[in-house]
Amino acid sequence: MATVEPIPGEPAAIADIEGEPALVIADVHAGIEAAFRAERGLSLDSRAEQRRERIGRLLAEHGATQLVVLGDLMHSIGAPGGAERGEIEVLLESLPGHVDVTLVKGNHDGDIESWIENVTVTDGGGVRLGSVGFVHGHTWPDPDVLAADIVCVGHEHPQVRLEDDVGGSRAERIWLRGDLDRTAFAERYDPAAIRATELIVCPAFNELVGGTWVNTNDEFLSPFLPTGIADAQAYLLDGARLGAFDSI
């Protein structure tokens, strides 16, 4: 049986792919600081080095032989700027040679496959690796993804706003996990071919991006969410269970 286990305290998970550990992250949005300066006039120091070191540390700590990025490795939707492309190229050059990299193409990734090297780039429909299906989530998944045991999704950047008794509040990235509801896919797929029983919506790896506030009636971005994830439970990055996402 396939397993996908979040790493406590991290916006990342380890998936068992045919007995080999794979590090799974979503929504890196490389070069976002440069975009903030150009588009919003905000001056932020680049965190590219911290992101790169974090990925390298997680790969090493968990003995991962694969890295799966659930889309939006890039931030700009068009051609990447120098800072963005530079961050991605340096990141890939820093990875150990034994680590295979798969990028499930997201809506921000443009024509990244035309210049990125030593990376398997799938189309937006995603890919099934062993018994785990991976899709970014901005479009409907490939049927083979739904034939996996578990489906992992990015794109949504799920988060909650938590308030204390004196009116203070903070934002927290979260995981959503629940049973995959086949009825959400019934009109587009052969129900008999859908074997996935669990759906996991992964938090954004990049803490600077916005996201869907799942407890403030925000509309979900993915065409199959939230209807595709029945009775989803929300979990903080440290593993604390918040309960059903729609009742937080």
How many Å apart are CA 53 and CA 43, to the nearest integer? 22
H helices present in the chain, as ranges: 32-40, 48-61, 82-94, 143-146
φ, ψ of residue 52 in degrees (nearest 5): -65, -45
Residue 49: predicted pLDDT: 94
Please indicate, yes or no, whether the overall pTM of this predicted structure exceeds 0.85.
Answer: yes
Percent of the chain with pLDDT over 70: 95
pLDDT tens-digit profile of 110-142?
Answer: 899 999 999 999 999 999 999 999 999 999 999
- Which comes out higher in pLDDT, residue 233 or 215? 233
Q: Quick one: average pLDDT of 92-114?
A: 94
Which pLDDT score is estimated for 215? 80
pLDDT for res 56: 97
Average confidence (pLDDT) over 70-81:
80
Q: Which domains does the chain have, with CATH numbers?
A: 4-247 (3.60.21)
Residue 73's SS3 state is coil
**What is the per-residue pLDDT across 171-198, written as a single tens digit (0 to 9) for each?**
899 999 999 999 999 999 998 899 999 9
pLDDT at 39: 65
pLDDT digits (tens, 9 = 90+) for 31-52: 888 777 766 777 778 888 999 9
**What does the pLDDT read at residue 136?**
97
pLDDT at 84: 81
DSSP letter, residue 142: P
Q: Which residues contact 20 (CB under 8 A, 6 or more apart)?
A: 65, 66
The CA-based dihedral angle spanning residues 237, 238, 241, 247, taken in that order and rounded to the nearest 10 degrees? -40
Q: Residues near 41 by Cβ (< 8 Å), separated by ≥ 6? A: none
- Please tell me the total number of residues recorded for the chain in this structure: 248
CA angle in degrees (0–180, nearest 5) for 108-113-119? 105
Residue 131: what pLDDT? 96
